[in-house]
Structure 1
Amino acid sequence: MRRQGVIQRWDDGKGFGFIRPHDGGPDLFVHASACQLRQTQRPAPGVEVSFETERGRDGRAQAAGVLPLHGWPTMDALPAGAVEQRRRNADEARAARPQRASASRSERPQRGGPSLRVAGLSIAALLLVLIVATATHRLPGWIWAWHAATSLLCFALYAADKSAAQAGRWRTPESTLLTFGLIGGWPGAIAAHHLLRHKSVKPSFRAAFHLTVVVQLVALSWLAWKGLRI
């Protein structure tokens, strides 16, 4: 369920701040990666937002999917000297944390949805099941077209949802994205995770997505074992 609040504090150099919910409770940590921003947009204290709540790696509640109620401030709308100060803060933060700026490629997929190895193994398992099942006539040949069509549709849904997030429009429900993955479109979702960098960070969504992949592969294998005659 989405909540509303106001950004109380924001450190642009470190890329995080805190949101005070309108419905009460403690201030919530928010990272810049949880905000749907364009290149020239920046969070700032006093901006009213809507957000979801999730558990961070430390087990504490934090904000996710943060959207402004009336638009994000742009750099040219900030007070005089604020842009230069933010740039200095960012430079100091990068100098203090060089290891983050030089993170290896092998670490990045862990933050961006399934790793390439896991994605490759999942797709290889799908292809193996389809090849064996259709070669032995235990699954109909149109099952290939089904997976291709649902994958393309799933990729398009992710792309549309990312565009809506950036523009502050109505988002596609996560349940819809997961459902299309569950019925066979998850290869397209994996492509969207890596190519579009969308829906690839939120832990709860990633866990649910991984579960849909496993369920779909198990269900497809069971249908192949039983023999689907359609």
Structure 2
Amino acid sequence: MTSPRVNKRKTAGRKRRVVADDSRLQEGILVLWNDDKGFGFVRPSMGGDDYFVHISVLEEGTSRRPQVGDTIFYNVASDTPGRRRLSYAAIKGVDVSEKKPTAGILASPRSPLLWTLIGLPILLSCYLMWRTYNPIPFFSYVFLSVLAIMLCGFDKKHAITGQWRVPELYMHVIEFMGGWPGALLAQHDFRHKIRKSRYRLILWGIIAFHGLAWTAFLVSNFVGR
């Protein structure tokens, strides 16, 4: 016979399925949803003001994204007094997949292409520093990439809590000046702005511009020898 402790260990990695009679959760209706930005508002069934809900607080493994009219089970966040937002939400009647033992521990694997894109400008700026004794590109890539990662993390947190956001123009300026490797890494690891096609288009335009600039430098450098 398997002991209760063993059973607990076996089920610890599985996700809890939300049921209608879960007395720990409140119930409401999703009255507004912006799928591009990943947020909306839930109106309590018992009445009262609407609550802000972000896609990041939705039950992991939910088989589809929220839709206006969905019945939502939720918990209210208590860490931001005065701000009506949810800390947890689940869609009634929507299947939730079981959580894998490693889910939530590691981010999705970084592809060789991602590592190549991030590493190339660092290597090329090292080469430039060796050839011309100009350290500015190297330190720009390193310092501004770290800054871009910090700002992306800050913006991700504020997107969840419904607070002031970092303007995309500021992010693009930092990316253009050399912080795009950090922004690309943060976008992958934080799963931030992955659905904003306009932001991604500008980011990849900046990456392409840097690639062309480095190509022109290498060609002129080797042809001029």
TM-score normalised by L of structure 2? 0.53
Q: How many residues align?
A: 161
CA contact (8 A) 2:121 2:141 kept: no
**Identity across aligned pairs (percent)?**
18
Partner of 1:154: 148
Give the conservation status (yes or no) of the 8 Å contact 2:137–2:178: no
* Match 2:35 to one of 17, 30, 35: 30
Unpaired runs of 5+ residues, structure 1, are: 1-11, 20-27, 37-42, 50-61, 64-69, 76-82
1:44 maps to what in 2? 42
Please give the alpha-carbon distance, in whole angstroms, between the structure 1 residues aligned to 2:156 and 2:178.
21
Deviating 4+ runs (over 6 angstroms): none
Pick aligned residue for 1:176 from 149, 170, 176: 170
Superposition map of 1:8-19 within 5 A: 19=32
Once the two structures are overlaid, the 10-residue window that deviates more, 217-226 or 120-129, is 217-226
Pair 1:71-2:84 in alignment: yes
| CA distance 1:190–1:73, shift in 2 (3 Å) | closer
Q: Quick check: 1:203 aligned with 2:205?
A: no
Instruction: Quote the Cα distance in structure 2 between the aligned partners of 1:18 and 1:208.
Output: 32
In 2, Cα distance between the equivalents of 1:29 and 1:186?
Answer: 27
Asked if residue 145 in structure 1 is aligned to residue 139 in structure 2, the reply is yes
State the partner residue of 1:125.
120
Instruction: After TM superposition, list the pairs within 5 Å mapping 1:89-104 onto structure 2.
Output: 89=92, 93-94=95-96
Q: 1:94 to 1:159 in 2, by over 3 A?
A: closer
Answer whether contact 1:152 1:188 (CA < 8 A) is retained.
yes
1:180-227 Cα distance to aligned partner (Å, 9 max, x none): 111100111122123322223322222221111111232244356567
AA of the residue aligned to 1:34: G
Counterpart of 1:72, as a letter, is R
> Could you tell me how far 1:178 is from its partner in structure 2?
1.6
1:149 to partner: Cα distance: 1.0
* 2:85 aligned partner, one-letter code: W
What residue is the counterpart of 1:135 in the other structure? 130
Cα 1:178–1:116, aligned 2, differ >3 Å: closer, same or farther?
Answer: farther
Read off the aligned partner of 1:160 and give its amino acid letter.
F
Counterpart of 2:96, as a letter, is R
* RMSD, aligned α-carbons: 4.3
Aligned equivalents of 2:205 and 2:111: distance in 1? 17
Larger radius of gyration: 2
User: Offset at 1:172?
Assistant: 0.9
Q: Which residue of 2 aligns with 1:190?
A: 184
**SS at structure 1 position matched to 2:96:** helix
Distance 1:73-1:222 versus aligned 2 partners, 3 A rule? same
Partner AA of 1:44 in structure 2: V
Partner-residue secondary structure (3-state), 2:42: coil
In the alignment, the residues of structure 1 paired with residue 161 and residue 206 of structure 2 have an alpha-carbon distance, to the nearest angstrom, of 28
* Greater RCO (CA < 8 Å, at least 6 residues apart): 1
In structure 2, list runs of 5 or more residues that go unmatched: 1-17, 20-28, 44-48, 53-66, 69-82
Structure 1 residues 179 and 47, CA, compared in 2 at 3 Å: closer, same or farther?
A: same
